[in-house]
């Protein structure tokens, strides 16, 4: 098995692409949000240019103080706070989605930029790859 150094060396010469990950689902109940976060961390570990968007029920993914004991699954959401260590700093939340759910940026566990649907459209248009979760 090759070690991480070899992988890193191999990828250092590669092209950096702009990846955008779109989160639209509530954090628990399906595997998509957790798996999308894994994809984000892997892309970031390989030095890609990563942007993450939260809209619709996806805004609940980064709500503070989640407690999953009652549904018997691991609360993976503290891992969003590690995004900063992975140099993933471009986190956008759709303003309309946040407001429709009675939330504000203070209810979120990571610093984000709140943007309108219109601004989000521009952000999406700038990407090389857009992936939904």
Q: Does 85 bind another protein (CB under 8 A)?
A: yes
What is d(CA 12, CA 9) in angstroms, rounded to the nearest whole number? Answer: 5
DSSP letter assigned to residue 63: B
Which stretches of the chain are DSSP H helices? 4-12, 32-45, 95-100, 117-125
Please list, in sequence order, all residues whose beta carbon lies within 8 angstroms of the beta carbon of residue 63, skipping any fewer than 6 positions away: 27, 77, 103, 107, 108, 109
> Does 100 contact another protein by CB under 8 A?
no
Could you tell me how many residues of this chain bind another protein (CB under 8 A)?
21
For the chain, the maximum distance between any two Cα atoms, rounded to a whole number of angstroms, is 49
Binding residue for another protein, selected from 18, 26, 32, 45, defined by CB under 8 A = 45
What residues from 11 to 40 belong to the interface with another protein (CB under 8 A)?
38
Name which position in 16, 31, 82, 100 contacts another protein (CB under 8 A). 82
Q: How many CA atoms lie within 13 A of 45 on its CB side?
A: 11
Q: Which regions of the chain does DSSP assign to beta strands (E)? A: 18-23, 49-54, 90-94, 113-115, 129-132
Give whichever of 38 and 49 is closer to another protein, judged by the CB atom: 38
Residue of 78, 102, 106, 126 that binds another protein (CB under 8 A) = 78
Rule CB under 8 A: say whether 74 interacts with another protein.
Answer: yes
Of residues 79 and 105, the one with the C-beta less far from another protein: 79
- What is the closest distance, in whole angstroms, from the C-beta atom of residue 25 to another protein in the complex? 19
Residues near another protein, by CB under 8 A: 3-5, 7-8, 38, 41-42, 44-46, 74-79, 81-82, 85-86
């Amino acid at each position: 098995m090759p070690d991480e150094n070899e992988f890193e060396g191999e990828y250092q010469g590669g092209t950096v692409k702009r990846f955008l990950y779109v989160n639209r689902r509530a954090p628990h109940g399906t595997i998509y949000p957790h798996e999308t976060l894994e994809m984000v961390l892997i892309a970031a570990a390989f030095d890609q240019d990563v942007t993450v968007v939260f809209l619709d029920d996806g805004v609940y993914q980064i709500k503070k103080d989640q407690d999953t004991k009652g549904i018997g699954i691991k609360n993976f959401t503290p891992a969003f706070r590690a995004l900063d260590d992975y140099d993933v700093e471009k986190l956008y939340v759709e303003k309309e989605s946040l407001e429709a759910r009675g939330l504000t940026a203070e209810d979120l566990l990571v610093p984000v930029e709140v943007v309108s649907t219109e601004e989000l459209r521009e952000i999406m248009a700038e990407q090389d790859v857009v992936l939904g979760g």
